[in-house]
Structure 1
Amino acid sequence: MHVSQALPVRQPEAVKPTLPPGMERDGFVALVDAVASSLGVGAAAMMTFRTMIASTRPSAFKRGPDEPCCYLSQSEIARKRGVTACRIRDHEKSLVRAGLIDKRTMANGARSGFSGCGIFFGVAIARVEEFLSLRDVIEADRRAHARLRGLRSSHKRHLKGILGELIVREGLTAEVERIQHMFLEWPAGQSLHRMSLEELQQHEAEAEALTIAAADMLTKSPDRPLENERSHIQDTTQDSSNVLCNDPVDTRSVGKPTRSTDIGPQPDGRGHCLEKQDGSVGAAHKSKFIQNLGSDRLYGLCSEEMQMWLDIERQKRGRLDFHSFVIAAQKRLPELGIHSSVWEEAVSVLDEDAAMLCVLITDAKVADPEVTILSAGGYLRGMIRTHRTGSLNIMGSLIGLNERNRRPQ
């Protein structure tokens, strides 16, 4: 009897992972660099990773039958890195644990292209989409951390000015001393970088609450005019254009380095040194624009989105003051796609008062359908550059916003 034999089933070849369209080997390395710390890989191990991957063919990451592989021995990698082979072994273990390499060696640990043994990178290539998502999360957290540090810097400047005025007005009462003591316990600006996002969120919220409490004490003083009360130039019987045009603010110096002694010294550093701009006593929490225009008038010039943030601040404080506008401006930045470094530059070059108004003006123009602004961040940087030439006219821009608001819809 004839017995037929089943033919062996041919197993399909494993699909070699390749990089997605548009990504090359160097871009892949940069991606791994961005997420390495979140994977538990230190800087030294990443240098070893880069050394190994540099010995591969870039084309192997995109096409070809072979998976990208480093055939260098540990001693060869150690020579290139200038470290011991023992350190390279430790780095390889770390990279294997993180899922960045697959180590396939011969029994004696040797690596050879002829025997298909070495350090393979397919495991990491297969995780590119995961790494891209992780990088987005890391970047979002980094931006959130920077925004919170900026908010804390604003709280510090404002609270320092408020405390100075409280001490002058009321002396070191028990409540003022309590607020001062809590303020002095705040971590230094550089310490904020070492905080986790959650720790910084909690500290920023506590800092804002303390600043609001101190501002409440100041506004309850019987001889303290509220910043959101209308000034004499804002009688509702006046034409709004006259209100703005006749404002006593010196428009020639708007946006230029002020000659007033109320403004503190400029910082000697970049954005990370913003807390050096604490301002003189009694000035860091005030705005010459709000005092002269009134917060209600300024609120009316804001976009609906900015007004939403101001409404939230009004709920917290029961009023709108300079601090409200500064915080609302900073919270509007990410929605406009403006990096926090642009705000830091604006505060450093102008002052917090003018920087807030530059954001307000930029935001209002972005919301205006008759105005085309390709990049809100670029527009704000343009205002900073214009200030450097001495030709920035913030009051003129506010008048323009007021005129547009008065046009029939």
Structure 2
Amino acid sequence: MHVPQSLPARRCEAVKPTLPRGMERDGFVALVDAVASCLGVGAAAMMTFRTMIASTRPSAFKCGVDEPCCYLSQNEIAHKRGVTACRIRQHEAALVRAGLIEKRTMANGARSGFSGCGVFFGVAIARVEEFLSLRDEIEADRRAHARLRGQRSSHKRHLKGILRELVGCHRLAAEVERIHQNFAGWPSGQALHRMSLEELQNHEAEAEALTISASNLLHETHDRSLDNERSHIQDTTQDSNEVPCNDHNDTRSVGKPTRSTVSGPQPSGRVRCLERQDGVASEAHKSKFIQKLGCDRLYGLCSEEMKMWLDIERQKRGRLDFHSFVIAAQKRLPELGIHQSAWDEAVGVLEEDAAMLCVLITDAKVADPEITILSAGAYLRGMVRAQRTGSLNIMGSLIGLNERSRRR
């Protein structure tokens, strides 16, 4: 007669949650640390979390047999942390509410490895995928926040320059005073860091609207288009080795002259660059090209993706001006995979106008199937390094883009 095996003997031990391949205990702690604030866990409670998890066996996070557990008593944890046991109880309660630990203790609250009682981390391990997605969202918001701060800084520089030009127009004194008062109420750069993403989005939109309003007011005071009045890329010095990006009489901060040498190699940036194949144009050709280059022609040198952002700016403003290109370039950065720090470095070394041209050139080359650029960010940083050594050739690159656009 067949005797069935008893149920306890057939029962399989449940597999415990484990970390995904490639993640170890320390990486898991770093992940939790990155999302802790969104889970309502403060810095002090996270220090207690790290203290407890440090007492576990790293292998327990990977094997799926034993669930990682801290058997230390609250008094022992308090001693390691240098705080009271009462504070540890508060931290543990916060960690339980956040779903980062599970407490399984004896009736008297005791913890023991022999009885399998303590603070367990399986509930947090089971949420790793959730935490990874949350960390990605946090990082995306952080990058968006940095981009918005950069755009607000551009609006501020541009508006300060416009106000300097408008201040002498007495017939517009009331309107200029209104713009100046609104501008004076803008929060400082430090205050921007304390804003939520939504608050910063609203402020940046208001700052852009005020800047556009002031720009339109300035535009109306001139007899001809701002685009025709001042070529933003002119050879005003007749010096082939220096290319100011603006008229030397323009005192606006957004239009400060930016000098780049016309001779010398372009940065390699791990790129199969065709710039050298364009040939060396005559100085007369360069001067003629520079003088004729305005916003419309610059628009024609842009990639289709950059043109999309410029079309949005044109719709907002009713026309394109140089500031439109600066804002469009900043909005292309994340799409190109260029970190905000690369733009900040470029602005610091080249000033904003030339930094924009570098992004425009990088973007156009990335879009060109005949050119291979492995990293747009590396290429932009290479241009900044070339500027530091005096070998940056912005105008040569623009001429190269122009020649290639004619051949298409």
2:252 is aligned to: 283
The alpha-carbon deviation at position 67 of structure 1 amounts to 0.3
Check whether the contact 1:231–1:291 (CA below 8 A) recurs between aligned residues. Answer: no
2:211 is aligned to: 211
2:286 is aligned to: none
The alpha-carbon deviation at position 250 of structure 1 amounts to 4.5
| Residue identity matched to 2:177 | E
Check whether the contact 1:99–1:123 (CA below 8 A) recurs between aligned residues. Answer: yes
Q: Deviations over 1:129-167 (max 9, x none)?
A: 111111111111111111111111111111111011100
| Residue identity matched to 2:228 | E
Residues 1-12 of structure 1: pairs in structure 2 closer than 5 A? 8=7, 11-12=11-12
Q: Deviations over 1:333-352 (max 9, x none)?
A: 00000111111111111100
- After the TM superposition, which of the residue ranges 245-254 and 30-39 deviates more from structure 2? 245-254
> Quick one: structure 1 residues 250 and 48, their matched pair in 2 at CA, closer, same or farther if it must change by over 3 Å?
farther
1:176 is aligned to: 176
| Residue identity matched to 1:283 | R
Cα distance between partner residues in 2 of 1:255 and 1:246: 7
1:34 is aligned to: 34
- Give the length in aligned residue pairs: 374
The alpha-carbon deviation at position 286 of structure 1 amounts to 3.2
2:122 is aligned to: 122
Check whether the contact 2:18–2:126 (CA below 8 A) recurs between aligned residues. Answer: yes
Residues 9-408 of structure 1: pairs in structure 2 closer than 5 A? 11-63=11-63, 65-170=65-170, 173-223=173-223, 225-229=224-228, 250-254=239-243, 282-286=251-255, 293-407=293-407
Check whether the contact 1:248–1:292 (CA below 8 A) recurs between aligned residues. Answer: no
Cα distance between partner residues in 2 of 1:88 and 1:291: 71
Identical-residue share of aligned pairs (%): 76
The alpha-carbon deviation at position 255 of structure 1 amounts to 8.2
> Quick one: structure 1 residues 292 and 215, their matched pair in 2 at CA, closer, same or farther if it must change by over 3 Å?
farther
Check whether the contact 2:236–2:247 (CA below 8 A) recurs between aligned residues. Answer: no
Cα distance between partner residues in 2 of 1:210 and 1:231: 22
Q: Deviations over 1:217-250 (max 9, x none)?
A: 0000134x433238799xxxxxxxxxx9978674
SS at 2:63's partner residue? coil
| Residue identity matched to 2:58 | P
| Residue identity matched to 1:26 | D
SS at 1:306's partner residue? helix
2:283 is aligned to: none
TM-score, normalised to structure 1's length? Answer: 0.85
Unaligned runs of 5+ in 2: 259-289
Q: Deviations over 1:239-276 (max 9, x none)?
A: xxxxx9978674523489x99686xxxxxxxxxxxxxx
Cα distance between partner residues in 2 of 1:230 and 1:161: 16
| Residue identity matched to 2:143 | R
The alpha-carbon deviation at position 288 of structure 1 amounts to 6.2
1:236 is aligned to: none
> Quick one: structure 1 residues 250 and 67, their matched pair in 2 at CA, closer, same or farther if it must change by over 3 Å?
farther
The alpha-carbon deviation at position 374 of structure 1 amounts to 0.6
> Quick one: structure 1 residues 13 and 250, their matched pair in 2 at CA, closer, same or farther if it must change by over 3 Å?
farther
Check whether the contact 1:245–1:399 (CA below 8 A) recurs between aligned residues. Answer: no
Cα distance between partner residues in 1 of 2:164 and 2:171: 10
SS at 1:220's partner residue? helix
> Quick one: structure 1 residues 249 and 181, their matched pair in 2 at CA, closer, same or farther if it must change by over 3 Å?
farther
- After the TM superposition, which of the residue ranges 343-352 and 7-16 deviates more from structure 2? 7-16
Check whether the contact 1:251–1:395 (CA below 8 A) recurs between aligned residues. Answer: no
The alpha-carbon deviation at position 178 of structure 1 amounts to 0.7
Cα distance between partner residues in 2 of 1:91 and 1:364: 53
SS at 1:119's partner residue? strand
| Residue identity matched to 2:398 | L
Cα distance between partner residues in 1 of 2:243 and 2:43: 47
Cα distance between partner residues in 2 of 1:94 and 1:158: 47
SS at 1:173's partner residue? helix
Q: Deviations over 1:161-206 (max 9, x none)?
A: 1011100233761111111111101111111111111111111111
| Residue identity matched to 1:27 | G
Check whether the contact 2:231–2:293 (CA below 8 A) recurs between aligned residues. Answer: no
SS at 2:103's partner residue? strand
The alpha-carbon deviation at position 93 of structure 1 amounts to 0.7
Cα distance between partner residues in 2 of 1:248 and 1:15: 76
| Residue identity matched to 1:93 | A
| Residue identity matched to 1:130 | E
SS at 2:385's partner residue? helix
SS at 2:115's partner residue? coil
SS at 1:195's partner residue? coil
Q: Deviations over 1:84-104 (max 9, x none)?
A: 221111111111100000111
> Quick one: structure 1 residues 356 and 292, their matched pair in 2 at CA, closer, same or farther if it must change by over 3 Å?
farther
> Quick one: structure 1 residues 245 and 344, their matched pair in 2 at CA, closer, same or farther if it must change by over 3 Å?
closer
Over the aligned positions, Cα root-mean-square deviation in angstroms equals 2.7
Cα distance between partner residues in 2 of 1:333 and 1:199: 22
Check whether the contact 2:160–2:252 (CA below 8 A) recurs between aligned residues. Answer: no
Cα distance between partner residues in 1 of 2:297 and 2:65: 69
Cα distance between partner residues in 2 of 1:142 and 1:19: 26
Check whether the contact 2:16–2:122 (CA below 8 A) recurs between aligned residues. Answer: yes
